[in-house]
């Protein structure tokens, strides 16, 4: 994934460059937006592999380990009935590469045949350590492309086009609301939009349709939970925590990390308000909000429900809960419920 302050690639510009200049030798494809990552990889395949040649000229190797002998065999194999070969390396744990393998990988990438293209494809959440020599060698040999959310405006346009493909319409404000409810991940938005479109009785998708059947993203539930705490709506906060814990797609360890992040972001917004620094200060501290005007606006509003001191204490409570989960073996659900109780009791 993109590290803090690391900019995601301009997908349209990257695709245009690929089509104009043709395939290069090495690609690092990573980031949270796997829909765009895979769309780019599909285009790379089309350009590398002529029709009918995939069986001969396409090779896929799977991590986390990587057999350099296999990789060398793949890239050195001459293309058959085509001009290029493509080797796709999935989920290679390059951060654990030993010094011997690292040297071998560097040597291999520095001497790739002219016909060979290698794409290292990393799962969302995996961050190659750019300080390591093998990773530097991969980056030096080709293009490092980080695929992140295109931002609310571009996502809303994409949702509108997808709705049209389902013979439905959705206006920009409702599309923005849909993104806020369901999250930014495009692969996750596709089935939710299909579900909402199927529920909509009329031609137009409404907020009521979204609220009726769409699955809330964990980040949205957490935002609503912290907002309920700020408003003193503790029964509502308890129901939202129950919803969060019922979501088995995200383990409690990740949920507490997201709660901590939300309280940190609220603290940043509160400090910005108290010191008169405004949105620029918030987006400097939380870069992912720069292209998300709706969540940014809602965060600033929600921060007004808390004092800076209360938010600072909330961040500390979350840290203690996180520590208890990881280091003391406490029951995660019990710890999350205790955290909610402590947050509710701290009203100063």
Q: What is the pLDDT of residue 145?
A: 96
Output the CATH code of domain 152-213. 1.10.8.60
- Identical topology for domains 152-213 and 218-345: no
Q: What whole-number percentage of the chain has pLDDT above 90?
A: 73
78-131 pLDDT, tens digit per residue, is 999 999 999 999 999 988 866 556 778 888 998 999 999 999 999 998 989 888
Check pLDDT > 60 for residue 1: no
Q: What is the CA radius of gyration of the chain?
A: 23
pLDDT band for 134, please (50, 70, 90 cuts): confident
Q: What is the 3-state secondary structure (H, E, C) of the chain?
A: CCCCCCCCCCHHHHHHHHHHHCCCCEEEEECCCHHHHHHHHHHHHHHHCCCCCHHHHEEEEECCCCCHHHHHHHHHCCCCCCCCEEEEEECCCHHHCCHHHHHHHHHHHHCCCCCEEEEEECCCCCCCCCCCHHHHHHHHHCEEEECCCCCHHHHHHHHHHHHHHCCCECCHHHHHHHHHHHCCCHHHHHHHHHHHHHHCCCCECCHHHHHHHCCCCHHHHHHHHHHHHHCCCHHHHHHHHHHHHHCCCCCHHHHHHHHHHHHHHHHHHHHHHHHCCCHHHHHHHCHHHCCCHHHHHHHHHHHCCCCHHHHHHHHHHHHHHHHHHHHCCCCHHHHHHHHHHHHHHCCC
Most confident among 124-128, 310-314, 343-347 (mean pLDDT): 310-314
CA geometry: angle at 307 spanning 302 and 312, to 5°? 100
Q: What is the pLDDT of residue 131?
A: 87
Q: What is the pLDDT of residue 187?
A: 94
pLDDT band for 262, please (50, 70, 90 cuts): very high
Global pTM reads 0.81
pLDDT band for 172, please (50, 70, 90 cuts): very high
User: CB 263: neighbour CB atoms within 10 A?
Assistant: 25
Rounded to an integer, what is the distance from CA 279 to the centroid of its chain?
Answer: 23
Instruction: In whole angstroms, give the CA distance from residue 317 to residue 298.
Output: 23
Length of the chain: 348
pLDDT band for 169, please (50, 70, 90 cuts): very high
Least confident of 34-38, 107-111, 169-173, 212-216: 107-111
Mean pLDDT of 331-341: 92
The CATH architecture assigned to 218-345 reads: Up-down Bundle (1.20)
Ordered by start, the domain boundaries in the chain are 11-146, 152-213, 218-345
Average per-residue pLDDT in the chain? 91
pLDDT band for 2, please (50, 70, 90 cuts): very low
Check pLDDT > 90 for residue 298: yes
230-245 pLDDT, tens digit per residue, is 999 999 999 999 999 9
Check pLDDT > 50 for residue 3: no
Output the CATH code of domain 11-146. 3.40.50.300
- For 119, list phi and psi in degrees, rounded to 5: -115, 115
Mean pLDDT of 65-74: 89
């Amino acid at each position: 994934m993109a590290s803090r302050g690391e900019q995601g690639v301009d997908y349209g510009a990257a695709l245009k460059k690929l089509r104009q200049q043709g395939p290069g030798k090495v690609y690092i494809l990573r980031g949270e937006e796997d829909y765009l990552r895979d769309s780019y990889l599909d285009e790379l395949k089309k350009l590398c592999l002529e029709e009918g040649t995939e069986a001969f000229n396409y090779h896929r190797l799977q991590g986390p380990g990587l057999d350099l002998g296999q990789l060398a065999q793949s890239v050195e194999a001459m293309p058959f009935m085509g001009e290029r070969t493509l080797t796709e390396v999935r989920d290679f744990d390059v951060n654990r590469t030993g010094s011997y393998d690292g040297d071998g990988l560097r040597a291999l990438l520095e001497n790739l045949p002219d016909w060979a293209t290698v794409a290292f494809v990393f799962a969302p959440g995996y961050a190659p350590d750019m300080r390591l020599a093998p990773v530097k060698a991969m980056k030096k040999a080709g293009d490092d492309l980080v695929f992140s959310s295109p931002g609310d405006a571009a996502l809303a346009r994409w949702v509108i086009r997808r709705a049209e493909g389902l013979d439905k319409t959705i206006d920009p404000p409702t599309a923005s609301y849909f993104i806020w409810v369901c999250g930014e991940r495009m692969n996750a938005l596709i089935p939710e939009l299909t579900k909402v479109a199927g529920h909509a009785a009329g031609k137009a998708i409404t907020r009521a349709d979204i609220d009726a059947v769409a699955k809330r993203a964990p980040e949205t539930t957490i935002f609503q939970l912290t907002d309920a705490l700020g408003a003193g709506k503790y029964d509502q906060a308890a129901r939202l925590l129950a919803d969060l814990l019922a979501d088995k797609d995200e383990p409690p360890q990740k949920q507490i990390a997201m709660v901590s992040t939300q309280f940190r972001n609220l603290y940043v917004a509160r400090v910005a308000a108290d010191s008169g620094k405004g949105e620029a200060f918030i987006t400097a501290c939380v870069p992912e909000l720069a292209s998300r005007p709706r969540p940014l606006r809602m965060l600033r509003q929600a921060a007004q429900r808390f004092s800076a001191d209360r938010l600072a204490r909330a961040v500390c409570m979350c840290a203690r809960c996180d520590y208890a989960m990881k280091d003391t073996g406490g029951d995660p659900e019990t710890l999350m419920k205790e955290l909610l109780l402590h947050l509710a009791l701290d009203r100063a």
